[in-house]
Chains A and B, each alone.
Chain A
Amino acid sequence: MRSIAITVNGVRRELDVEPRQLLVYALREQLGLTGTNVGCDTTTCGACTVHLDGESVKSCTVLAVQADGREVTTIEGLQSNGDLHEMQRAFHENHALQCGYCTPGMIMAATSLLKEHPDPSDEEIRYGLEGNLCRCTGYHNIVKAVQAVAGA
């Protein structure tokens, strides 16, 4: 076991983890933050995307010990003062989700994308989100939602 401290959604959390523990399971099973989902075992689907020191990472491919001393933001930390983040609202308003399983990761990836490319073309959005898979929407409305935030 290793003792680590991660600032998760602005709160410092101390926890003991097995060296092999993945960040996503530390978040889900040790800290109870089940908003971050797991959809594959090959770093392909992006359902587990969170922000690590402000950049999007797939938390199934980061060891919890690698997050020691760093800041993590999950979907649960995206709202401020109880208000939806504009990306959350855009996903709702543009019907950019159906089953919703990929959605937390997709929203985290999309907010990160706009930070790097504030005014993307549709094409750039599609390539920017290529690491996130959705099986329900065909991405059409996801692109629309991200564009709605970019254009706001």
Chain B
Amino acid sequence: MSVTERTSKVIGTSQLRKEDAELITGRARFVDNITVPGMLWVGLVRSPFAHARINGIDVAKARELPGVVAVYTGDELEFAAPLFMAWPINDEVKNPPHHPLTKDKARYAGDPVAVVVAESRALAKDAIELVDVDWEQLPAVTDIRAALEPDAPIVHEEFGTNNAGSWILERDSPVPRRGPTAPFFDDPQLVKIKQEYRLARLIPNAIEPRGVVVDVNAPMGEYTVYSATQIPHILRTTLTITCGIPEAKLRVVAPDVGGGFGSKLEIYPEDAICLALARKLGRPVKWIEERSEGYLATLHGREMIQEIELAATRDGVLKAVRVNLTASMGAYLRLVAPGIPMLGAWLYHGCYECDAYDFQYTNVFTNNTFTDAYRGAGRPEATYAIERSMDALARELGMDPVELRRKNFIAKDKFPNYTIASGLTVDSADYHGTLDKCLEVLDYDALRAEQKARRERGDRKLLGVGFSTWNEMCGLAPTRVLAALNYGAGGWDAATIEFMPTGTVRVVTGVSPHGQGSVTVFAQVVADQLGVDYDDVEVLHGDTQVSPLGMDTYGSRGVAVGSVALHRAGEKIIAKARTLAAHELECAEEDLEFEGGNFTVKGTDRSANIKGLAFNSWTAHNLPDGMEPGLGATELYDPPNFSWPNGAHCCVVEVDPDTGSVDTVRYIAVDDCGVQLNPMLVEGQVHGGVAQGIAEALFEEARYDDEGNLVTGTMTTYLVPGPPELPPFEVHDTVTPSPTNAMGVKGIGEAGTIAAPPAVINAIVDALSPLGVKNVERPATPERVWRAIQEARS
């Protein structure tokens, strides 16, 4: 038997990505690149009104257009069930049926009412224009608070209210929080502050628009759905429910997917419509979203009003935090939307100790595009509220915001597994250490000295510095917690590792990456663990035929759940290989050491390499009694806890008080995601997250007029930042390994988006504080900043 030594480790090294070759040469397989013979093009007729009754739809002209194959209204295209909503947060939730094609009225501008099918992309567009809908426009409501007024237009009449239900931590959380908070807010000895923040509505803007291709094997009743989705597994199960097609005859493929950020963590009307059309017509169909169409038809994120109150002692000890949110659901409850604000429920007291905590939120229907998960989902909202409030409290107390944070951080020695005020148990963190690193990189004292000097000189441009010391729960999620929260699925994930007879390794993961680099990272994990070459590991994903089990990619779970599942599957393989090696080497299993792919009898040079064992297990000529042939293993891993990364971010800005324009001079990110499997990819995730977070703070807002028209309806009117709008990033780290999994890893995908917005806005407010400015709503556009200055001056 050949003995190959493999000692160089790839975990922890910045391996270049296996994913890149196709992407940089134009050979990627995005959904719009998929063409199926005989394929028809699908176009949606959408409501131009935010709220309008359908008195009739005349499709005759469209049907007569040569090249048009079919036109259907909501009454003509049948479904077994409405679109699936997976998170009925409690018994209060009001979940209206969401039909893929609305039948009675449109509830948001963009609500699809009819579908055309034509021989070409252009003909489908022409046919859309020929469908004549007799609309009766109704008053619309797009403001969250106005929607709760007694005389507001009602989005779903059957409920008689736009209140979609509330969730209260004290009542609905499976774990008890410290509290109640009322005695602290009644205590006259304590300093109290109350803040209100409005979070803008955001459009995710993955650069690849959505799209669906459905291929059909009509005689067999089999369908393949290619969708630009983050969730092929969840999509298959829910499409089965909506379309009534047996799951065994439905294959869902997420081909190369051009970014998601939550926008492709959804079950969309178009997915179900295309599948229903393929079945009805017995022909393959394709729908590709146009960008402006997507601004109406693809989920939005984050619109909410936050009320947050802090009570603290005069010397700056935080005692109580009380939070009330009002969140926009838009026109329907989409896949996990009712639970999105809840994903922040345990985080509104941040990294800080406090004696009491209360949290609740109310979901509201409005005549807007539906909202759902957008990168960070619930946690950026929480971090924003507490980090802005900590700065406000520091100003109130006349304390340095860094000093206030340090004073209230949960101490490092409380970990591992410390139950925080909100009731969840954080596995590990070193909040002081992470902040110290950030201050060191920044040279905080020098910066404050410069700020003081500039202010004394009366420099026109105003220098400000803002911090965000954040923590989060990601790696969604422990199933027992999800079950207690009424979530419709588990939080486990699947991994299979199989040795091929020739010694290469096939990895199948249930997560569905779309830019994260999971193929590279997972190959690193398996190569090191099993002692095989990194290049000999093939990672497959995103196709329910190849990976029948999985919970897909969102919530920073690729590494935190997916790679841990993989590592545990690897342990099973090593255990089996050890038994076989002991059999072949005629020794006891405990006499074997496993290193670099070799099982060696301790104190001898007798060894067996895992590749040879794999071959021998395939021929199966000489296996121990009862051992099954083959060397492979599957693990379904349910994480026992959330993943708890944290960080300290700092933004330095210069504000021009005459124009209100903000220049981000420096951006420092110190993140702690535990052990880093590939530092280059960690850094890349931080870059992208911070970019989106800065954009959220400075540029991005989906705005509607009073009638419910999206006035930021194209990429020219909604500012997705280009290269000149963003600064270079200074990315650093601390490493506090997670005790929850064997590799010590934590999620990192959402960190930057969670951290950045309050760091930026705190910096702006810090810059403007000598003028008396205490708050600037986001996005802090030049106009908003300028107005805040004028208001403070007047």
Per the bound structure, the CA–CA distance linking A137 and B721 in Å amounts to: 12
Indicate if the CB atoms of B16 and A127 lie closer than 8 Å.
no
Q: How many whole Å from B522's CB to the nearest CB in chain A?
A: 16
- Say if the beta carbon of B205 comes within 8 Å of chain A: yes
| A14 cross-chain contacts in B, Cβ below 8 A | none
| A35 cross-chain contacts in B, Cβ below 8 A | 25-28
Per the bound structure, the CA–CA distance linking A40 and B298 in Å amounts to: 14
Per the bound structure, the CA–CA distance linking A29 and B690 in Å amounts to: 36
- Say if the beta carbon of B681 comes within 8 Å of chain A: yes
| A95 cross-chain contacts in B, Cβ below 8 A | 14, 16-17, 680-681, 683-684
Binds B, one of A51-59, A61-69, A96-104: A96-104
Per the bound structure, the CA–CA distance linking A75 and B25 in Å amounts to: 6
Indicate if the CB atoms of A37 and B258 lie closer than 8 Å.
yes
| B208 cross-chain contacts in A, Cβ below 8 A | 37, 39, 99, 101
Number of interface residues of B (CB under 8 A): 57
* CB neighbors of B among A7-52 (8 A): 18, 20, 25, 28-29, 33-42, 44-45, 47
Per the bound structure, the CA–CA distance linking A98 and B513 in Å amounts to: 10
Candidates B14, B23, B25, B716; contact of A44 at CB < 8 Å: B716
Indicate if the CB atoms of A41 and B292 lie closer than 8 Å.
yes
| A134 cross-chain contacts in B, Cβ below 8 A | 207
| A44 cross-chain contacts in B, Cβ below 8 A | 291, 714-716, 720
Per the bound structure, the CA–CA distance linking A107 and B728 in Å amounts to: 19
| B397 cross-chain contacts in A, Cβ below 8 A | none
- Say if the beta carbon of B220 comes within 8 Å of chain A: no
Q: How many whole Å from A124's CB to the nearest CB in chain B?
A: 10
| B721 cross-chain contacts in A, Cβ below 8 A | 133
Q: How many whole Å from A7's CB to the nearest CB in chain B?
A: 18
- Say if the beta carbon of B778 comes within 8 Å of chain A: no
Looking at chain B's contact residues, the main secondary structure is loop
- Say if the beta carbon of A76 comes within 8 Å of chain B: yes
| B23 cross-chain contacts in A, Cβ below 8 A | 97, 99-100, 103
Given contacts A39-B291, A136-B515, A138-B688, are A101 and B25 in contact (CB under 8 A)? no
- Say if the beta carbon of B691 comes within 8 Å of chain A: yes
Candidates B20, B680, B683; contact of A100 at CB < 8 Å: B20
- Say if the beta carbon of A125 comes within 8 Å of chain B: yes
Q: How many whole Å from A15's CB to the nearest CB in chain B?
A: 15
- Say if the beta carbon of B724 comes within 8 Å of chain A: yes
* CB neighbors of B among A108-141 (8 A): 122-123, 125-127, 129-141
Which residue of chain B has the shortest Cβ distance to A107 in the bound complex? B24
Q: How many whole Å from A117's CB to the nearest CB in chain B?
A: 14
| A29 cross-chain contacts in B, Cβ below 8 A | 35, 121
Indicate if the CB atoms of A40 and B291 lie closer than 8 Å.
yes
Given contacts A42-B292, A42-B715, A99-B207, are A138 and B20 in contact (CB under 8 A)? no
Q: How many A-B residue pairs have CB under 8 A?
A: 186
Indicate if the CB atoms of A130 and B515 lie closer than 8 Å.
no
Number of interface residues of A (CB under 8 A): 58
Indicate if the CB atoms of A143 and B728 lie closer than 8 Å.
yes
| A104 cross-chain contacts in B, Cβ below 8 A | 24, 26
- Say if the beta carbon of A142 comes within 8 Å of chain B: yes
Candidates B205, B688, B691, B723; contact of A143 at CB < 8 Å: B723
Given contacts A41-B291, A45-B207, A95-B16, are A76 and B24 in contact (CB under 8 A)? no
| B724 cross-chain contacts in A, Cβ below 8 A | 123, 126-127, 130
| A47 cross-chain contacts in B, Cβ below 8 A | 207
Q: How many whole Å from A144's CB to the nearest CB in chain B?
A: 9
| B687 cross-chain contacts in A, Cβ below 8 A | 137-138, 140-141
Indicate if the CB atoms of B32 and A18 lie closer than 8 Å.
no
Per the bound structure, the CA–CA distance linking A131 and B17 in Å amounts to: 26
| A79 cross-chain contacts in B, Cβ below 8 A | 25
Given contacts A41-B714, A126-B723, are A103 and B681 in contact (CB under 8 A)? no
| B722 cross-chain contacts in A, Cβ below 8 A | 126, 129-133, 139
Which residue of chain B has the shortest Cβ distance to A76 in the bound complex? B26
| A39 cross-chain contacts in B, Cβ below 8 A | 207-209, 258, 291
Which residue of chain A has the shortest Cβ distance to B259 in the bound complex? A99
Per the bound structure, the CA–CA distance linking A42 and B684 in Å amounts to: 28
1/0 contact string of B15-41 vs chain A (CB within 8 Å): 011011111111110101101000000
Indicate if the CB atoms of A36 and B716 lie closer than 8 Å.
no
Which residue of chain B has the shortest Cβ distance to A87 in the bound complex? B24
- Say if the beta carbon of B726 comes within 8 Å of chain A: yes
| B292 cross-chain contacts in A, Cβ below 8 A | 40-42
Indicate if the CB atoms of B691 and A42 lie closer than 8 Å.
no
Indicate if the CB atoms of B715 and A40 lie closer than 8 Å.
yes
Per the bound structure, the CA–CA distance linking A74 and B683 in Å amounts to: 30
Indicate if the CB atoms of B24 and A101 lie closer than 8 Å.
no
| B209 cross-chain contacts in A, Cβ below 8 A | 38-40
Per the bound structure, the CA–CA distance linking A46 and B432 in Å amounts to: 43
Candidates A20, A74, A135; contact of B205 at CB < 8 Å: A135
**Chain B residues with a Cβ under 8 A of chain A:** 14, 16-17, 19-28, 30, 32-33, 35, 121-122, 205-209, 256-259, 261, 290-292, 514-517, 680-681, 683-684, 687-688, 690-692, 714-716, 720-724, 726, 728-729, 752
A-B contact pairs, 24 of them (CB 8 A): A29-B35, A40-B209, A40-B292, A40-B715, A41-B292, A41-B714, A44-B720, A76-B26, A76-B27, A92-B17, A95-B16, A99-B208, A99-B258, A101-B28, A101-B206, A101-B259, A126-B726, A131-B722, A132-B722, A133-B721, A133-B722, A135-B207, A135-B720, A136-B684
Can you list the 4 inter-chain pairs with the closest CB atoms, starting with the nearest?
A: A35-B26, A101-B258, A100-B23, A138-B691
